[in-house]
Amino acid sequence: MIASLVDRVVRSQRWLDPTGAFIQRVVGAIYKPLGGPGQSLKSFLHGTWLGHALHPVLTDVPLGAWTVAIVADLVAYSGKLKPEVGDFCVLIGLVAAYGAVVTGYNDHHETIGHELRLATAHGLLMTLTTALYTASFLLRWLGGGSARDLAVVLAVVGYVLLISAAYLGGDLVFGIGLMVNRNAFIDGPEENFVRVGRPQDFAEGQMKQVDAGGMAVLVVRYGGQLHAISNTCAHAGGPLDEGELDGTRVTCPWHGSRYDVVTGHVVRGPATFSQPTLNVRENGDSVEVILSRSLHE
């Protein structure tokens, strides 16, 4: 009920499309002149080094800290708690919130369609929330009775926005699967080797997509050896065989994530999860593959 109402409201906000596109252009313009180091920074902020999206790790901190701050602020009015407790919690939340805003807009850069609209609404609400908490903290810092009252009011308003924005953030991940590992729900050959072609079908330095028991697999011959990984990009499902191969590194054609076809490791974001790998063997006139480890057990 709430979900469909939120969905309708967000879809009807057409202004979110140009606003989101504008934010993406600004983020792109920041990274572009930085070249390679900018790419590395962007991957870092996605969480590629962590093997997990960095943004949700940071968002948990302000949610927790600002929840405690609300309670501490209200209890402080009774005199049973020092007001500095609430101030400190607001500060802790703020430090993480700045990181969450930066990593959030970094992830937002690769969104399209409805996910762009939803991510823009989520990002703008979180930015406004962070601005309110920044003002609240400055008022606390400046001190004074009436300034503190206003600081607490701003924090309460900010908290309502925070919960609303967090709902949209949850919808982004659990509802439409943004930043979810696209290999999480696939199946592949786990029990027995599956034939995917003949040795001569796989030329040196070429990429070839094959079907391995229903799983789209990318096979690459490099240095005479065959290597295989899932052909579905972990980031958003891009077809890796349509990307570019440089040595053992394949670059996804959709948003530029890069993987090593030997290890499956992600070496450049926005992807944060590595690709499942498959063992390959040449068996007479056949090339056969099997997952190097189970995907679900």
Binding site for ligand FES (CB under 6 A): 110, 233, 235-238, 252, 254-257, 270-271
CA distance 211 to 127: 45
Write out the E strands in the chain: 194-197, 207-212, 215-222, 225-230, 244-246, 249-251, 258-260, 266-268, 277-283, 286-291
CA distance 104 to 24: 11
At 32, the amino acid letter reads K
CB contact at 8 A, 272 and 53: yes
Instruction: Please report how close the Cβ of residue 160 comes to ligand FES at its closest, in angstroms.
Output: 34
Pick the closer one to ligand FES by CB: 150 or 216: 216
Pick the closer one to ligand FES by CB: 188 or 269: 269
Instruction: Please report how close the Cβ of residue 110 comes to ligand FES at its closest, in angstroms.
Output: 6
Burial (CB count within 10 angstroms: exposed 0-12, middle 13-18, buried 19+), residue 42: buried
CA distance 84 to 69: 10
Instruction: Please report how close the Cβ of residue 237 comes to ligand FES at its closest, in angstroms.
Output: 6
Pick the closer one to ligand FES by CB: 140 or 182: 182
Pick the closer one to ligand FES by CB: 56 or 237: 237
Token code pair at residue 34:
């930085």
Instruction: Please report how close the Cβ of residue 257 comes to ligand FES at its closest, in angstroms.
Output: 3
Pick the closer one to ligand FES by CB: 189 or 256: 256
> Residue 160, Cα to own-chain centre: how many angstroms?
24
Instruction: Please report how close the Cβ of residue 25 comes to ligand FES at its closest, in angstroms.
Output: 18
Pick the closer one to ligand FES by CB: 81 or 112: 112
Instruction: Please report how close the Cβ of residue 250 comes to ligand FES at its closest, in angstroms.
Output: 10
